[in-house]
Structure 1
Amino acid sequence: MSSEVTTGDEVHSDRTSVSEPLSDSHQHGMTGSQAWNLYASHFLSTWNIRTYEFTAIIFTAAAYPDTLIASSIRGIVRTLASICFASIVGRWVDHAPHRLKTLWSTISVNRISVISASVLWFFLVSSESATQGSLQSTSSITQDIMFGLILFLEVLETLSASGNMLSMERDFVVTAADPDGQPYDLTHLNSVMRRIDLICKLIAPILISIMVSATSVRIGVFVVGALSTASWGVELICAKRVWDLNPRLRVLKTIGIGDSNTVSQSLPPSSSCHKISRALRRYRQDFENYFSSEVWIPSMSLSFLHISVLTYSATFITFLLNAGFSLDLITIARAAGSVVEISSTVVTPIGVHYLSKTKGHGRIRGVVARVNEDSEDPGVRLLERFPGQQPATETGLERLGLWGISWQLLNLVPVVFALWSLSPDTTTTTSSAIVSRILGPIATQPLLAFTLFFFLSISRLGLWIFDLTTQQLTQTMNPTSQRSSFTGVEYSFVSLFGLAQHIVAIVLHRPEQFKWIALMSLGATAISTVAYAGWVWKMRGHLVHWDRIGKGCKCVKVRLRQVR
């Protein structure tokens, strides 16, 4: 279906015409049937993405058992692909007029890449050279060719997975959601979708590990490919049902042509230089739009947290194993952390509802609540669908997000102290000697392990509350035409900071140096907290209701006097 293109003054008239059927559709809100089909489609996508994400690590280790080179190359290629192309995928999602076709495309590309990669993995792990672990055998050239094709397919899988998340979370869900306060409003849908993602992240690796351990890696490859094939059609049908039953999803998006298409007019339109110049200009424009957005600071704060190793990541687990913790204990702690993460999807809607009761705080609240729906300001489009309801919800999101990231920071402090006590001290510095004196007595007791894992696990509650609130803020405080491209740039920064984490771990690779990495991770979390708090202060004009605290103190004093 051809895309609609508007320029100049036509954008306003087209936006008005597009929003007309939306008001009619309010009486036909999202039903339980639509929601369950939406959840089913997202579950199948997430399950397949999480399953392949984990099993590919097992397949790489089975094909190249005596070296970490293949695993490192694979991780670098996937990370670089996300850094370079995530924003381009986001722009494509924003500019594609047909929502269902866009979602179908991401699903189909992801399934084709996984199925094709599974075929190659099947032959790669079955080869005699892979079984023997000899990279210098006569078939090593064939292995390298197959592995190179797998890397190409994994780039497609990574980008299509990002496109699927962008299309679903930044377009499909936002458009289909009911007004605030309804059973299927945006806060509720976001929480359930994230709950599905976290459950898949927890269960998929466990089940696939049990299956591979009970059978073989070849059977695991076959099962991954078979699951992707079997779920492909079901996922498409579920998405189609949601699209059929929701009038808002069927409205085509309009595309405004800006300066991004008017580049290098002196060059022939068909020349390679013109195409490269246009691509680079669009890429730069995505980053300019990101930093000009009102909500880029929360997004950057969330992205910057990915530089921290204070999470149940491969780097942290490797350190724990070297420090003498058993794999069983680590697995139990990681499972507990996952349960806490899932609980954040229950806490967030309740917290947003409670903290949204405060109205009219901050400069943005007062302005947005009074603007006309037909204003030309792009920021006003946030209220196009449900005017007058968003400001209170945004207040709750901002306040709960601050509580979340502050909770994470406070609970990571004892984690860092425990790690300083745990890490071998080969250098005699004053600070490390003081920490050793304070924490030395508990180093040989179960209290150390409890402190480390308990506070690390409950810190995950704050992280995912902050993640959920920031996600909804970026969904609602960005223009419709920039939601996915904004998140694509965010994904690029997430991958960049994740890469920086691995580089730091390579530089400070000795076990006794891990405490410095932990301290830097705590500093990164503190920087994110301060940056987000400053943004909330800018939005609301304050962080704490000192007047309410004063009233509370007066009430306490009065009651104490009465008791006396």
Structure 2
Amino acid sequence: MYTSFKKAVVMSEGHPPAVLTRMNSVIRGIDLSSKLLSPVTTGLIISFVSLKASAITFAFWATITAWVEYWLFISVYSGVPAIAQSNERRILRSMTNPVEETDAPVSVYIVPGTEEGNPPRRSAMLKVFDRVSKSSFVGAWRVYIKQEVVLPGVSLALLFFTVLSFGTLMTATLQWEGIPTYIIGIGRGISATVGLAATVVYPLMQSRISTLRTGLWSFWSQWSCLLVCVGSIWVKKGNIASYMLMGGVAASRLGLWMFDLAVIQQMQDQVSESDRCVVGGVQNSLQSALDLMAYVLGIIVSNPKDFWILTIISFSTVTLSGLIYTVHLYRIRNHIFHFEKIPLLSKCLFKFILPSRGET
């Protein structure tokens, strides 16, 4: 998915910033639409035909779409010269960097007690440390940490360490609590529809209040919706708690996917071309690792009665994510809110609500 967003950056070069915003929204909309249609189609085939027919259908679909995807990649690569030029520049850098390193002068230091020109034997631990420090894995993380957008990236990755989504853990808990499968399916469909709405709302907000502030407002709107999920812990009346949980998660998808688009666009704007692949790879690996940790947490707290513990941990992680992003915004802008505009806003509202003396 990050490869698609990287191509969007190259394709939008020379165009207004709104073009990149729109391309990101369309790509994310296609992604969310696929995630919505896939389970619906699977359920229909299983219900009206059979499980085997569903497996055969999706195997056939995967085979066909693999070739379609390959054809689309080739078409885009051939039709947009900027992508080929970007690839040529990257290959040129990879060919010139080793030459520059080998041409550098090498200084030989003679340690007392050793023969001239014969360096002392190094310990095995030191050799291992050198190999690790020079590995591509460590080098990739060094590049990632040096980026200006490292805090937004970590903030986005932390949102993967959660069970507050229509994934397997929450779905299993809802079924254990007696929620019918079709109700869960409806909730998942509403959640996906709200996520699709984010791809429409994001360009509108981003064009008016900037990418940074769109990320801030979208994140804390998501956090506010998740308060309903936390409140469901103390509700003991029938299935109301379960419906509160589903409602809070579904409503939070609007802010979640808007925040996702805001962070991605910041990475596209601020990460240099030479580091985009490395930063994207590290970001994806970090998100996958935290997603895996969420399932490990589900194994540790496996009793559905204790799902409230997972809810608290997930909400705490989301809160930490928001604080990290807020710190980043404050570090960039030196403020979070325009407090000087609050009296002016209050005055305008006062005049709008209360009529003037001449109208009374």
Conservation of the 8 A alpha-carbon contact between 1:261 and 1:278:
no
Give the match for residue 167 of structure 1.
3
Aligned pair 1:490/2:324, yes or no? no
Match of 2:63 among 219, 224, 229: 229
With over 3 angstroms needed to count, the CA separation of the structure-2 counterparts of 1:226 and 1:508, relative to structure 1, is closer
The 1-side partners of 2:26 and 2:323 are apart by 29
Give the match for residue 141 of structure 1.
none
Give the match for residue 109 of structure 2.
none
Match of 2:194 among 340, 361, 383: 340
The 1-side partners of 2:211 and 2:33 are apart by 23
With over 3 angstroms needed to count, the CA separation of the structure-2 counterparts of 1:321 and 1:445, relative to structure 1, is closer
Conservation of the 8 A alpha-carbon contact between 1:179 and 1:186:
no
Task: Give the CA deviation at 1:303.
Answer: 0.5
Aligned pair 1:300/2:123, yes or no? no
The 1-side partners of 2:222 and 2:52 are apart by 41
Q: Which structure 2 residues correspond to residues 46-445 of structure 1 after superposition, within 5 A?
A: 165-170=1-6, 172-179=7-14, 181=16, 185-251=19-85, 252-254=88-90, 255-256=93-94, 277=131, 281-355=135-209, 396-418=210-232, 420-421=233-234, 439-440=235-236, 443-444=237-238
Aligned pair 1:544/2:340, yes or no? no
Conservation of the 8 A alpha-carbon contact between 2:158 and 2:287:
yes
The 2-side partners of 1:495 and 1:235 are apart by 23
Task: Give the CA deviation at 1:500.
Answer: 1.7
Give the match for residue 113 of structure 2.
none
Task: Give the CA deviation at 1:558.
Answer: 5.4
Runs of 5+ in structure 2 lacking a partner?
107-118, 120-126
The 1-side partners of 2:175 and 2:100 are apart by 53
The 2-side partners of 1:175 and 1:281 are apart by 29
Conservation of the 8 A alpha-carbon contact between 2:152 and 2:325:
yes
Task: Give the CA deviation at 1:449.
Answer: 4.7
Deviation by residue 1:178-227 (Cα, 9 ceiling, x = unmatched): 555477x1111110000000000110122133224444444444333322
Match of 1:534 among 324, 327, 333: 327
- For the residue of structure 2 that corresponds to 1:229, the secondary structure is helix
- For the residue of structure 1 that corresponds to 2:139, the secondary structure is helix
The 1-side partners of 2:185 and 2:225 are apart by 20
Q: 2:225 is aligned with what amino acid?
A: N
With over 3 angstroms needed to count, the CA separation of the structure-2 counterparts of 1:248 and 1:301, relative to structure 1, is same
Conservation of the 8 A alpha-carbon contact between 1:309 and 1:315:
yes
Match of 2:293 among 500, 505, 511: 500
The 2-side partners of 1:278 and 1:508 are apart by 35
- For the residue of structure 2 that corresponds to 1:311, the secondary structure is coil
The 1-side partners of 2:131 and 2:216 are apart by 41
State TM-score, norm by structure 2.
Answer: 0.83
Deviation by residue 1:415-460 (Cα, 9 ceiling, x = unmatched): 1111x13xxxxxxxxxxxxxxxxx44xx1375x4543322221111
Deviation by residue 1:356-382 (Cα, 9 ceiling, x = unmatched): xxxxxxxxxxxxxxxxxxxxxxxxxxx
Deviation by residue 1:111-169 (Cα, 9 ceiling, x = unmatched): xxxxxxxxxxxxxxxxxxxxxxxxxxxxxxxxxxxxxxxxxxxxxxxxxxxxxx34322
Q: How many residues align?
A: 329
Percent identity (aligned)? 24
With over 3 angstroms needed to count, the CA separation of the structure-2 counterparts of 1:343 and 1:260, relative to structure 1, is farther
Give the match for residue 520 of structure 1.
313
Runs of 5+ in structure 1 lacking a partner?
1-164, 267-272, 356-395, 422-438
Q: 2:40 is aligned with what amino acid?
A: I
Task: Give the CA deviation at 1:325.
Answer: 1.3
State TM-score, norm by structure 1.
Answer: 0.54
Give the match for residue 260 of structure 2.
467
The 1-side partners of 2:132 and 2:296 are apart by 32
